[in-house]
């Protein structure tokens, strides 16, 4: 039950009383304040003050004997009016207020409350900012490792108790992350193969080595570009969706509701998405390989006059099975990066919907960064192994 707001004044002012007003006192350099100076009655008083013909004296007396009630809003309004007169070089004397109203006015006019300048907040130096950002990244990295550890614990529980597997959620995520991504991945992979064949073919023509366009397209697409481009597309499409979905649930307290019902968020939200992406990304990579090679074949036919049969014959002899499998091996690792980072950033959402946007952006940036770093590491390892 809410208590009524209390004001300082005579009894009965809450039920009635005059509106606040300021009047000139005839024959004196004085003004008279009357009525209830409370927050619910101050509307329109500023306009009457502006229209008041203030006397041109060096000293003005403010008579407050007619003030029946006053709260902090009314006291602040009176202090602001007095302060405006004093800035014009007029000495102001407030008289006639009851003792309790004088104490309230003195409290509002206390320089420690009204006149003190805010303490400036020192701007941190470069080293301090670098240290804070570094520590924030370290904390985020530690949190990500802990998140990965929790995922592994959940997977071990699933292996011991297969009944915990959420098959319907898993199949739904396979459809969303896999089959629904086929059009965009197929189109971009086809165009990528076209670009590689067009740019490479223009250089090979100078040496009369047109047939080697099959080698260029095959090695570029199967070993490097198809897995990398597919992972980047999935990071921007599916990883951001993971973050936005989980983040929105976090804002709406749906994750707390899952815990209340005895459902572990890892079982319902994270592991099904992770397994679905680990299954679908290698398949999407195979599809991207085929579309990229097909795009290269089309451009080789149009630009260099190499028939499809000749292209495929050279492609079969130049590109070996290990070269093809090296690209497929990368896909599950990239899938794990996208799923883990996307879900982790979703759980980091806090506050309102603006946090969902920030974490979604961070999810995509971090996923693409880690994918490129891991891809570079794969290239170095494969070079050391001689494959």
DSSP string, 323-345: HHHHHHHHHHHHHHHHHHHHHHH
- What SS3 class is residue 48? helix
Same domain, 351 and 222: yes
Task: Provide the total of helices (H) and of strands (E) in the chain, helices listed first.
Answer: 16, 5
| Whether the predicted pLDDT of 13 surpasses 50 | no
Same domain, 236 and 337: yes
116 pLDDT tier (thresholds 50, 70, 90):
low
Distance CA 53, CA 201 (A): 89
Distance CA 362, CA 345 (A): 7
Same domain, 90 and 199: no
Average pLDDT, integer, range 298-315: 88
pLDDT at residue 11 in the model: 42
Question: What mean pLDDT is reported for the chain?
Answer: 85
Handedness of CA 184, 190, 193, 195 (dihedral sign): negative
Same domain, 19 and 97: yes
Same domain, 95 and 176: no
pLDDT at residue 275 in the model: 92
Tokens for 11, please give them.
């009894």
Average pLDDT, integer, range 113-138: 78
| Whether the predicted pLDDT of 239 surpasses 80 | yes
Does residue 375 lie in a domain region?
A: yes
58 pLDDT tier (thresholds 50, 70, 90):
confident
Tell me which of 26-35, 141-150, 337-346 is least confident: 26-35
pLDDT at residue 111 in the model: 58
Does residue 76 lie in a domain region?
A: yes
Does residue 287 lie in a domain region?
A: yes
Average pLDDT, integer, range 178-193: 93
Does residue 171 lie in a domain region?
A: yes
Q: How many domains does the chain have?
A: 2
Does residue 35 lie in a domain region?
A: yes
Does residue 6 lie in a domain region?
A: no
Same domain, 220 and 315: yes
| Whether the predicted pLDDT of 364 surpasses 90 | yes
Same domain, 277 and 367: yes
* Domain containing residue 65: CATH number: 3.30.750.24
Distance CA 240, CA 360 (A): 5
Q: Of 110, 139, 174, which one is at a domain's C-terminal end? A: 110
15 pLDDT tier (thresholds 50, 70, 90):
very low
pLDDT at residue 115 in the model: 53
Tell me which of 47-51, 139-143, 266-270 is least confident: 47-51
Residue 277: partners with Cβ closer than 8 Å, 6 or more residues away: 173, 177, 234, 238, 335, 336, 338, 339
Q: Of 63, 79, 110, which one is at a domain's C-terminal end? A: 110
Q: Of 110, 128, 152, which one is at a domain's C-terminal end? A: 110
pLDDT tens for 188-204 read 999 999 999 998 888 88
* DSSP notation for 132-176: HHHHHHHHHHHHHHHHHHHHHHHHHHHHH-GGG--HHHHHHHHHH
Percent of the chain with pLDDT over 70: 93
pLDDT at residue 366 in the model: 92
| Whether the predicted pLDDT of 316 surpasses 50 | yes
Other beta carbons within 10 Å of 353: 12
| Whether the predicted pLDDT of 105 surpasses 60 | yes
Does residue 350 lie in a domain region?
A: yes
Contact indicator for 226, 281 with CB cutoff of 8 Å: no
Name the residue with higher pLDDT: 135 or 80. 135
pLDDT tens for 59-95 read 888 888 888 888 888 888 888 888 888 888 888 888 8
Same domain, 272 and 348: yes
Domain extent for 64: 15-110
pLDDT at residue 114 in the model: 52
Does residue 27 lie in a domain region?
A: yes
Same domain, 32 and 106: yes
| Residue among 191, 267, 243 at smallest CA distance from 367 | 243
Same domain, 76 and 192: no
Residue 57: partners with Cβ closer than 8 Å, 6 or more residues away: 29, 90
């Amino acid at each position: 039950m809410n208590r009524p707001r209390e004001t300082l004044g005579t009894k009965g002012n809450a039920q009635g009383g005059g509106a606040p007003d300021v009047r000139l006192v005839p024959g004196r350099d004085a003004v008279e304040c009357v009525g209830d100076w409370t927050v619910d009655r101050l509307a329109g008083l500023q306009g009457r003050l502006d229209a008041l013909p203030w006397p041109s004296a060096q000293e003005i007396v403010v008579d407050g004997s007619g003030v029946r009630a006053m709260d902090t809003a009314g006291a602040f309004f009176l202090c602001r009016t007095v302060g405006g007169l004093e800035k014009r070089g007029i000495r102001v004397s407030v008289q006639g207020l009851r003792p309790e109203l004088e104490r309230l006015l003195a409290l509002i006019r206390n320089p420690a409350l009204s006149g003190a300048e805010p303490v400036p907040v020192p701007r941190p130096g470069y080293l301090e900012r670098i240290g804070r950002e570094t520590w924030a990244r370290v904390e985020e990295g530690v949190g990500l490792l802990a998140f990965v550890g929790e995922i592994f614990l959940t997977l071990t529980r699933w292996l011991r108790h297969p009944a915990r597997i959420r098959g319907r959620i898993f199949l739904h995520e396979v459809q969303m992350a896999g089959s629904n991504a086929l059009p965009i991945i197929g189109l971009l992979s086809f165009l990528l193969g076209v670009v590689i064949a067009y740019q490479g073919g223009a250089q090979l023509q100078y040496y009369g080595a047109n047939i080697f366009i099959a080698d260029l397209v095959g090695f570029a697409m199967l070993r490097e570009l198809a897995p990398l481009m597919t992972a980047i597309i999935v990071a921007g499409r599916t990883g951001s969706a993971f973050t936005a979905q989980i983040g929105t649930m976090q804002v709406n307290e749906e994750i707390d509701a899952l815990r209340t019902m005895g459902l572990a968020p890892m079982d319902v939200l994270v592991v099904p998405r992770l397994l679905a992406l680990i299954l679908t990304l290698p398949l999407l990579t195979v599809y991207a390989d085929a579309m990229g090679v097909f795009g290269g074949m089309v451009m080789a036919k149009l630009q260099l006059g190499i028939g499809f049969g000749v292209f495929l014959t050279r492609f079969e002899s130049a590109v070996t099975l290990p070269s093809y499998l090296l690209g497929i091996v990368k896909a599950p690792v990239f899938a794990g990066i996208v799923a883990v980072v996307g879900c982790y950033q979703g759980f980091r959402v806090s506050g309102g919907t603006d946090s969902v946007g920030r974490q979604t952006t961070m999810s995509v940036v971090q996923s693409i960064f880690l994918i490129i770093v891991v891809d570079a590491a794969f290239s170095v390892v494969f070079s050391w192994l001689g494959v």
